[in-house]
């Protein structure tokens, strides 16, 4: 699969953009585990052109994570055009437009998935961004606003006509948020449309190597994007790549190996921020990881793990968990 001249190989697996998740440290970790392309957190076009420091920091990229895409969102055409040019100056490989975020503070204000209610404006912004930069522009969106307005098949053609280099589709409507199951049937319909010639990337509920292969086999998508399935489990990319390559499930590592990965996530987060903020940031990963599922009488340990603000205390808890999990 190629995005413009960027060759991601056959059946690439991409890390989805996620706010408060896909910071530089996590992107690098997923890259080391086999992610073929990674995306930054959402970048607000309005905040970027106002030079908000926290937003500008999201444009800090490194060569080790390439190819990397910066994702922007907004509802004003002029602001999106200007933000795109500022992003291009940070030298990402790809610029992605977020027309898929369903959260109220974004979609409720007309940006992200909110654009699914104003297709002319969405296309106007897309054309403006494509014309404003020389790097490849891609789009990430959803099936439609709600069950009565699943417009993605026609919308995909319209976005392609704007000049985008690839399209990522989350298999839910905005109304679904993240509930229910992702519907990949329309993603497959977009891919099978003979008028589509850009790569189609599917997203939604990829939580295992088997599901990734099923997505490729049943829909014919060019790439698969993993979002929440990677939180607290960056090694999922290693598992998926092995399964796609061999058709066999990668044998599990010992429990301590996975705990060391989580420890490294903590270290990276603390190094990027500070001890207190770094641990607060990583709590989402610790809460989401499937590693602790099935451990008996884990509730009190889980509460302690998610309350501590000390690395030493957190690692002591990790060590106790690892010791208790040794057969």
Residues annotated catalytic, as ranges: 101
Exposure string for 273-301, b = 16+ CB within 10 A, e = fewer: bebeebbebbbebbeebebbeeeeeeeee
**What is the full DSSP assignment across 135-179?**
S-EEEEEESBSSTT-B-HHHHHHHHHHTT-SEEEEESS-TTTTT-
Question: Parallel, antiparallel, or unpaired for β 6-7 and 2-3?
Answer: antiparallel
Beta bridge partner(s), residue 142: 170
Any idea which residue has 């499930």 for tokens? 249
CA 298 to chain centre: 29
Q: Quick one: which of 88, 43, 87, 39 has its CA closest to 65? A: 39
**SS3 assignment, position 283:** helix
Query: CA 277, CA 281: separation in Å to the nearest integer?
Result: 6
Query: CA 121, CA 77: separation in Å to the nearest integer?
Result: 8
Give the helix/strand (H/E) hosting 326.
none
Query: CA 134, CA 163: separation in Å to the nearest integer?
Result: 11
């Amino acid at each position: 699969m190629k995005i413009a001249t960027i060759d991601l190989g056959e059946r690439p697996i991409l890390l989805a953009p996620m706010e408060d998740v896909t910071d530089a440290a996590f992107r690098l970790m997923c890259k080391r585990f086999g992610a073929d392309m990674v995306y930054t957190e959402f970048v607000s076009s309005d905040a970027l052109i106002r030079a908000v420091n926290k937003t500008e920091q999201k444009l800090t990229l490194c060569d080790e994570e390439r190819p990397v895409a910066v994702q922007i969102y907004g509802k004003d055409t002029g602001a999106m055009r200007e933000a795109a040019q500022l992003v291009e100056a940070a030298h990402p490989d790809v610029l992605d437009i977020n027309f898929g975020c369903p959260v109220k503070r974004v979609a409720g204000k007309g940006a992200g998935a909110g654009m699914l209610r104003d297709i002319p404006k969405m296309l106007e912004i897309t054309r403006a961004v494509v014309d404003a930069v020389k790097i490849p522009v891609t789009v990430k969106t959803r099936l439609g606003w709600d069950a009565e307005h699943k417009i993605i098949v026609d919308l995909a053609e319209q976005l392609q006509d704007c000049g985008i280099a690839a399209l990522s589709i989350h298999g839910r409507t905005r109304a679904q948020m993240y509930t229910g199951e992702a519907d990949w049937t329309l993603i497959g319909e977009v891919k099978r449309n003979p008028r589509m010639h850009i790569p189609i990337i599917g997203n939604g509920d990829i939580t295992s190597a088997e599901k990734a292969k099923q997505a490729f086999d049943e829909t014919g998508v060019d790439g698969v994007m993993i979002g929440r399935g990677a939180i607290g489990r960056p090694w999922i990319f290693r598992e998926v790549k092995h399964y796609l390559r061999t058709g066999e499930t990668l044998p599990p590592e010992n429990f301590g190996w996975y705990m060391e990965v989580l420890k490294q996530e903590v270290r990276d987060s603390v190094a990027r921020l500070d001890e207190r903020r770094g641990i607060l940031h990583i709590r989402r990963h610790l809460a989401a990881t499937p590693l602790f599922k099935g451990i008996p009488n884990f509730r009190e340990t889980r509460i302690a793990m998610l309350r501590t603000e000390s690395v030493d205390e957190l690692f002591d808890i990790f060590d106790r968990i690892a010791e208790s999990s040794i057969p």
